[in-house]
Structure 1
Amino acid sequence: MAGTHDSVPLSVRRRDDEADRTVLLRASALVAAGYGVGASFQAAYIYTRVVPGWDDVALWQRLTANVVGVVVLVAALAAVRVHRARSGWAVAAGTLAAATLMAVVRTLVQVMVGVYPADDVAALRAELLAAVVAGAVSAGIGVWVMLGRRSARRRTRAAERDAVAVEHAVRALEDEEIRIRRQVAEGLHGTLQQRLVLVDAHLAEVEARRRTSDAGLADELAWVRRELAQIRDDDVRQMSRLLYPDRLELGLVPAVRALLGRLPATIATSLHASEAMRALDDPTRSDVTVPERLLALRVVEEAVTNALKHGPASRVDVRLDVEGAVLHIVVANDGAPYAPRAVDPVSGTSRLAQRLAVAGGRLRVGPGADVGVRVEAHLPLGVGTP
């Protein structure tokens, strides 16, 4: 039982001690009272019906003695603080002392109310021994119940600590991922693109010098410049967006709007964000963290990508709402009818569902209201936040 209170605040230890004391005393009193009432009825029946000369011993006298005994047992257990003992020997000693005191007081009360005469040594000795055993058993059951509750409490707190540790680890990994994504995206958008621009400028200078002397070389240099421009405009910027989407720092709503703005003009789009969502998405507040925004944006990206890939969608509608600290994301399209597919654990949708599950959320893909596909995600906000 040692180490029960390690690393537990004083206020929590006090509440734990109070809870242990209450459980111990209630369980001991209940068992002792049950024993006392049963023994009173049994003894009164046997003695008044079988033993001659005991007709004058009323039931209430035995009940009185046993009630006093229960009260003394509970008071003694509280006085010796059995609930605070941290070793088996201390618990056993306190329990036996309380049971002995209860037995002595109960026997004296029996003599006082006339259950036994004071000179009936044999009967008093038997009652004393029986009371010690009954008190020890009652208190022992109370201790057993208390220890069971204490063990359950330790397991619950250990599970809570493990869960918090996992949440903090996930949060740290998410923050590190965001940091790396931002650094790589800034590197692609800044340093690499700048170097490509410098290379293009030097090629332009070489092209100008060679234009009059070698038309073929000038054409080759022009082709290289066009390729560099395409790499800079398409590949580098696209990779930068994949790593760290545009306008994510401004909030989820601006980032989703920027994503929808890159879709072909032939696809109609709409974005509806509730007032609660807009208030919570304020970049000056920390209600929605960057990892949460990124995960939510990935839901929209995956739904839009699948809409373009699996069906000729002409419209994509996105709804963002917050209810009870849970972010609700709905992406619906009017493309091909929903067709359930075999679960692919390496698909983007499966990986996204796993990420949401780690964050305490869930993802559902199903048919739309009339046609197309509806993707719905629920993401708890603030999970793991200190």
Structure 2
Amino acid sequence: MRRHDLVADRLILLRGTGLVAVGYAVGASVQSAWIYSTLVPEWAQVDLWRRLTANGVGVLALVVGLGVLGAHRAQGALALTTRMLAAALLMGVLRVAVQVALGVHPPDDTQSLLAEAVVGAFIAFVSAGIGVWALFSRRRMRVATRAAERQAVSVELALRELEMEEVRVRRQVAEGLHGTVQQRLLLVDARLAKVQERVADAAPDVAQDIVWARAELAESRERDVRQMSRLLYPERLEMGLVPAVRALLGRLPTSIATRLQVGDELRSLDDPSQVGLTVAERLLAVRVVEEAVSNALKNGPPALVEVRLDLVGDELQIVVSNDGNPYVPPAAPDPESGTARLDRRLRLVGGGLRVVGRLPTGARLVATMRLGVAPDEPTR
């Protein structure tokens, strides 16, 4: 058991036992003073403070005894019961001794002294039992809390592993598209160019078909393959979130104005040379901006798209606004839409996403994601 757990256990046991015992001691003193003054006039001369002092010494003896005997460290019911009995007997004996010293009971009244010792030991044992109950309740609560914390950490670690794996796969596929697939398309184009030269005079119609096929290949290579590569792994993501978002906005038509605002704290954190945003966090944030921009183009087109990135506490806040057509919330939200999927993904990291209307027209997407200290993806 950890050292600070033992200290906490000892404090709970002694505090619980002491509070219950003090309650018994004060109540018994007041009750005894009233009963003796009413029913036994010859004992009415015993002051209340003497009874309180004797019982107070007994409570102190009980608490000190439990602490010295290490009842909070006891392993097993027998060891714990033995230490509780020893502390209870110590209280009973010291309480009677102080009563005799202060004149609460005469020293030759053996029957009364024995009764006081037995009652005191019994009350002490009951008080210690309540303290032990409080101790065990605290231990069960501590075990349950730590189990919940371990489960939460396990879930978070599993999520981080999935994020890292997603980034790795996306990067590999994007590199494959950008490298291998483009290279093969270039080889096919070179081969078609040779065929075109050979049939240019003999079969002009075939040559024209080859020209068309080469043009389609070039367009597919420049547009489809590159676009797919960017969707899988955004440009400049390795350089940071801000460069990646700026590259994304740079691909918009020139008829749409863009504005990017970044908070100073986020600029400092978004330094790839330091332990800041992980690649997985950057990728998720870029996906949020990409989704907002895509929706703006589909529902617009807007004349202006504004993106604001900022750090609020330990959360990254993403706000994307546009001045396109007025936003009309769907009557029945599609759980399979890109926005809904991103919202579920953000909730896994303690964030969320919502889309609201913007005055006088347009829409605003607001997303948050909690940033955690997690190891970045392994280098390949």
Instruction: Give the TM-score range, shorter chain.
Output: over 0.9
Return the alpha-carbon distance in structure 2 between the equivalents of residues 42 and 385 of structure 1.
66
Equivalent of residue 373 in structure 1, options 349, 363, 373: 363
Percent identity between matched residues is: 57
Partner residue in 1 for 2:44: 55
Alignment partners' CA distance in 1, 2:261 and 2:28? 74
Give me the whole-angstrom Cα distance separating, in 2, the residues matched to 1:244 and 1:297.
Answer: 10
Aligned to 1:130: 119
Provide Cα deviations, 1:62-121, integer angstroms capped at 9, x if missing partner.
111101100100010001111112322222221111111111111122122222222222
* Structure 1 spans left out of the alignment, 5+ residues: 6-12
Match of 1:252?
Answer: 241
> Which residue pairs with 1:69 in the alignment?
58
Q: Distance in 2 between matches of 1:384 and 1:87?
A: 41
Q: Deviations over 1:247-296 (max 9, x none)?
A: 11111111111111111122111112222222221221231111111111
Deviations 1:119-153 (A, max 9, x none): 22221222121111100111111111111112111
TM-score (norm 2): 0.95
Change (3 A) 1:53 1:76: same
Q: Which digits, 9 at most, give the CA deviation of each residue in 1:166-224, with x for residues without a partner? A: 11111111011000100000001001110110111011011111111111221222222
Superposed, 1:268-307 pairs within 5 Å as 268-307=257-296
Partner of 2:15: 26
Aligned residue number for residue 5 of structure 2: 16
In the aligned structure 2, how far is the partner of 1:35 from the partner of 1:325? Answer: 50
Q: Which AA in structure 1 matches 2:58?
A: G
CA distance in 1, matches of 2:54, 2:281: 67
Indicate the residue corresponding to 2:97 in structure 1: 108
- The answer on whether the counterparts of 1:359 and 1:383 sit within 8 Å (CA) in structure 2 is no
Structure 2 residue 200 is the aligned partner of structure 1 residue 211: yes
Which amino acid in the other structure matches residue 48 of structure 2?
L
* 2:261 partner SS: strand
Distance 1:60 1:358 in 2: 63
Within a 5 Å distance, the mapping from 1:115-194 to structure 2 comes to: 115-194=104-183
In 2, the alpha carbon distance for the partners of 1:346 and 1:385 equals 31
- SS at 1:164 equivalent: helix
Aligned-CA RMSD value: 1.4
1:268/1:316 contact within 8 Å kept: yes
What is the SS of the residue equivalent to 2:42?
coil
Deviates more, 1:350-359 or 1:110-119: 110-119
How far apart are the structure 2 equivalents of 1:330 and 1:25?
Answer: 54
Q: Who is 2:337 aligned against?
A: 347
TM-score normalised by structure 1 residue count: 0.94
Paired residues of 1:168 and 1:385 also in contact (CA < 8 A)? no
Classify the secondary structure of the residue corresponding to 2:247. Answer: helix
Partner residue of 2:67 out of 67, 71, 78:
78
Counterpart selection for 2:222 from 223, 233, 237: 233
Write the distance in 1 (CA, Å) between the matches of 2:76 and 2:361: 69
| Contact 1:269/1:315 (8 A) holds in 2 | yes
CA offset at residue 229 of structure 1?
Answer: 1.4
Task: Say if 1:167 and 1:383, in contact at 8 Å, map to a contact too.
Answer: no
Give the aligned residue type for 1:95: M
Q: Distance in 2 between matches of 1:107 and 1:302?
A: 81
Q: How many residues align?
A: 375
Q: CA contact under 8 A between 1:365 and 1:375: conserved in structure 2?
A: yes
The correspondence for 2:310, drawn from 312, 321, 324, is 321
The answer as to whether partners of 1:312 and 1:336 remain within 8 angstroms in 2 is: yes
CA contact (8 A) 1:107 1:124 kept: yes
Q: What is the distance in 2 between the residues matched to 1:272 and 1:59?
A: 76
Read off the aligned partner of 1:201 and give its amino acid letter: A
Question: Who is 1:46 aligned against?
Answer: 35
Deviation string 1:29-82 (CA, Å, 9 cap, x unpaired) is 111111011101111111122114212222122111101100100010001111
SS at match of 2:43: coil
Is 1:198 the counterpart of 2:187 in the alignment? yes
- The alpha carbon displacement at 1:244 in A equals 0.3
| Distance in 2 separating the partners of 1:167 and 1:268 | 39
Q: In the alignment, is the contact (CA less than 8 A) between 2:278 and 2:374 conserved in 1? A: no
- Does 1:358 find its partner at 2:342? no
Residues 222-250 of structure 1: CA deviation (Å, up to 9, x unaligned): 22212221221122111111110111111
Report if aligned partners of 1:251, 1:281 keep a CA contact under 8 Å in 2. Answer: yes
* Segment of structure 1 superposing worse, 248-257 or 106-115: 106-115
Whole-angstrom distance in 2 between the partners of 1:195 and 1:297 = 30
Q: Please give the alpha-carbon distance, in whole angstroms, between the structure 2 residues aligned to 1:210 and 1:379.
A: 60
Conserved 8 A contact 1:28-1:142: yes
